[in-house]
Amino acid sequence: MKKVLMLFLAAVTLGFTSCNSNDDENGIVIDGIDLSKDVDCCSAEEALQVYKFLQTVHYIPELSTSVDGLYDVKAFSKTGTLHRGYNDLYFVVTKKKTGNYVKFFDIKNVTPLMNMVKMNMWHSTPVGGALEVLDTKRPAVKHGWVSLLMNTSEAGYWQFSYDIEVLGSKGRVEDQVVNVEALLEGQDWLKSFKVGNDTYYLSLVNPNDWKTGTNAIQAYISKKSSPATTPYAVAAETFTVEIDPRMPDMGNHTSPGNVALAKQPNGSYQGSINLTMTGLWRIHLTVKDAQGNVVAGGDSQKDGFSSLYWDVTL
């Protein structure tokens, strides 16, 4: 414990203010504040883990706010920006008076809306729902995701809103304009398909983390809402997504050992994909319903492969 506290206090010296340690009988006193009595906050070890995590992500000022002059709400993503397709979002709340991380807060009703200027209409996009605790080691970090259908352009722009409650104090971010970047050429992680009159969206999760060899592949299937201004929730239906990765620049050769994406208890779809070399991979998709019927991707392009696909460039 002494070693943890020494690391912790060193971090404070660099400008990091910690939370309390529940297992130090005398408590930790920083700037005259007895943090052991700050029961709203996390332990010294938890605070240190949150601090370390925040060094791996970047601040999004447009989605950050304050509540009742008591709390600072800070939003983060991997790059500090948002892009077309899947984006992880992280939120942390600190007390203005002490800088302590607060464990007990809720962020709900995350609503991205795109104003299609030329069409004079609004629509939302796939959203992961209410934010959840990132993990037990970092209880002061809440995690969620959005998958943005389009990038910002002359055709339209995005606004974000959400509600937050911190220890009984309530706040809201309302219609905050956020820039959404286009993905680089050779990257296309979001596709749609229709079943009857319903539209679904396939969001590939973080393929920029992949390396050559076998990788875990994860995706979400979301269903378009009616009205379209309501965030598109994860689809209740169960599908299977078969994958056929090919390299179009290398004679469309494939790779062995790929496993179809199957629905998990948390609503995500998971499988595995084997990418044998760097370059552009076109991941052709065949979607089947719970009875095994092909509902999307059964048609073929002139090259014989599914016309429903993601592009990933390693």
Judged against a pLDDT cut of 50, whether residue 25 lies above it is answered with no
Instruction: Provide the CB-side half-sphere exposure for 167 (13 A, CA).
Output: 17
Q: What confidence score (pLDDT) does residue 43 get?
A: 86
Tell me how far apart the alpha carbons of residues 202 and 104 are, in angstroms, rounded to a whole number. Answer: 32
Identify the residue with better confidence: 144 or 304: 144
Q: What confidence score (pLDDT) does residue 302 get?
A: 61
Q: Minimal CA–CA distance to 248: which of 182, 186, 185, 184?
A: 186
Same fold, 39-181 and 190-313: yes
CATH architecture of 39-181: Sandwich (2.60)
Q: What confidence score (pLDDT) does residue 39 get?
A: 72
Burial 132-165 (b: 16+ CB within 10 A, else e): eebeeebbbbbbbbbbbbbbbeeebbbbbebebe
Domain ranges of the chain: 39-181, 190-313
Q: Which fold has domain 190-313?
A: Immunoglobulin-like (2.60.40)
| Rounded mean pLDDT, 197-222 | 97
Judged against a pLDDT cut of 70, whether residue 23 lies above it is answered with no
pLDDT digits (tens, 9 = 90+) for 92-145: 999 999 899 999 999 999 999 999 998 999 999 999 988 999 999 999 999 999
Judged against a pLDDT cut of 70, whether residue 13 lies above it is answered with no
Q: What confidence score (pLDDT) does residue 38 get?
A: 67
CA angle 185/189/194 to nearest 5° reads: 125
Q: What confidence score (pLDDT) does residue 236 get?
A: 97
pLDDT digits (tens, 9 = 90+) for 164-182: 999 999 999 999 999 999 9
Judged against a pLDDT cut of 90, whether residue 8 lies above it is answered with no
Q: Minimal CA–CA distance to 252: which of 277, 282, 217, 212?
A: 282
Identify the residue with better confidence: 118 or 29: 118
Tell me the pLDDT of the chain averaged across its residues: 89
Judged against a pLDDT cut of 60, whether residue 29 lies above it is answered with no
Percent of the chain past pLDDT 90, that is, above it, reads: 82
